[in-house]
Structure 1
Amino acid sequence: MAVDTRRIVVLISGSGTNLQALIDAQNTSALPNARIALVLSNRKAAYGLTRASHATPPIPTAYLALQPFLKANPGKTRADYDIEVARIVVRAKPDLVVLAGWMHVLSEAFLDVVSGARTLPGEEPVQQPIAVINLHPALPGAFDGAEAIQRTYAAFQKGEVERGGAMVHRVVKEVDRGEPVIVREVEIHKGEPIEAFEERLHRTEWKIIVEGTKKILDEVRPL
């Protein structure tokens, strides 16, 4: 009996190198019986949208940015924006949402919708909570939030940390504090420029985003 393809929605803000790792892994042994059903960006010029449209077959894309949304909807709030992001996501009926360089902190309003705790008017109820994971370029509890690579490198120069790392973690209301799914340490070499450390860390990210996606898909929709 055929097994339904497992569906992934990817949220991006930038060039989409992590997205590309997922695109390349679709329906291979690294990410079997899985396809990206939608790529959503909060930046119109994000090159990741081009990567999606150039994939074989092309991946549907969507765009919704916070400030244009607020300007077009006077009286609406950041939480209202997060709800509209959630609406786009749940319409794609994913088994998993992957934040791959998504530079916007999603609030409880988003999590309430994708978990099924809140059903939006006019939308079908979420039958099974949709898992959400995030890729973060730091070790658990080390450098939450933005500029994690730069902060890690600066801390190494001061002798405050011995290495950096990256993780895939579950998304909860506290920023970058969800349960780690995959964690990898990345060495920083004395005297090397930040660009060398950053390149090595990104190569690690490309691996663990696929590993983390497979791990969670195997939990929520085992083959």
Structure 2
Amino acid sequence: MSSSPRRITVLISGSGSNLQALIDALNTPALPNAQITLVLSNRKAAYGLTRAAKANLPIPTAYLALQPYLKQNPSKTRQDYDAEVAKIVLRSKPDLVVLAGWMHILSEGFLELLDRRKRVEGEDGLSVSEPIPVINLHPALPGQFDGASAIERAYEAFQKGEISKSGAMVHRVVKDVDRGEPIVVREVPFVTGESIEAYEARLHAVEHEIIVEATKKVLEEAKPSS
């Protein structure tokens, strides 16, 4: 194994509590010999950017949002935006990309540059020799509540008596939303009479554990970047 720290790039959109869990785990037994080399947000006001800047060793950050990008580049498309996100990610030379509350569905324009199906035009140095794994945290069980508002939809289903538990998972990112291979799955049962806020707090605590667990697991499997 390489003695160089394994390089992680994290994509966020909001408060960054899952990012904080990763930062806190760096170079502990939970996530040994690792560093976060970039935090990228698609929202300028995301508090996760502040968390990165305030880390013990400040973490470089970047920002790129879809609508401003399309406005500044009228001939470009959403696929072009996703390819631009991929280039920013690739410049950080990651061994692993973690989507930690990244509220934007990444298209093939992103994935095909990370998994080596397509080369980066005009920047040959960015093209990868080995596929770079991309993982995502999703607050639901596999196949249960894909896409947005999963927590609210699960809680509503519980209120209707349709389910007794939900949970969270970290899965590999594929073009189909939240349908990639699960890496770590954790069930979280509902409690009768519990508010959605209380359930959400319990769920987030689980998320903070499994995002670290899955990151360690995939890094152990992935080849170091060259």
Moved >3 Å (runs of 4+) = none
* SS of alignment partner, residue 216 of structure 2: helix
Deviation at 1:121, TM superposition (A): 2.1
Partner of 1:138: 140
Partner of 2:66: 66
Deviation at 1:2, TM superposition (A): 6.6
Unaligned stretches of 5+ residues in structure 1: none
Deviation at 1:221, TM superposition (A): 3.9
Residues 195-216 of structure 1 deviation map (CA, whole Å, 9 limit, x = unaligned)? 0000000000000000000000
1:216 lines up with 2:218 in the alignment: yes
Letter in 2 for 1:152: A
d(CA) in 2 for partners of 1:2, 1:99: 24
- TM-score, normalised to structure 1, is 0.98
d(CA) in 1 for partners of 2:223, 2:106: 24
For 1:27-176, what aligned pairs fall within 5 Å after superposition? Answer: 27-123=27-123, 124=125, 125-176=127-178
Unaligned stretches of 5+ residues in structure 2: none
Partner of 1:204: 206
| Contact 1:13-1:46 within 8 A present in 2 as well | yes
Greater CA drift, 13-22 or 212-221? 212-221
d(CA) in 2 for partners of 1:149, 1:105: 18
Partner of 2:17: 17
Letter in 2 for 1:209: I
* SS of alignment partner, residue 208 of structure 2: helix
| Contact 1:6-1:221 within 8 A present in 2 as well | no
Deviation at 1:118, TM superposition (A): 1.2
* SS of alignment partner, residue 23 of structure 2: helix
* SS of alignment partner, residue 70 of structure 2: helix
d(CA) in 2 for partners of 1:80, 1:67: 12
* SS of alignment partner, residue 22 of structure 1: helix
- TM-score, normalised to structure 2, is 0.96
**What is the RMSD of the two structures over their aligned residues, measured on CA atoms?**
1.1
Q: Percent identity?
A: 70
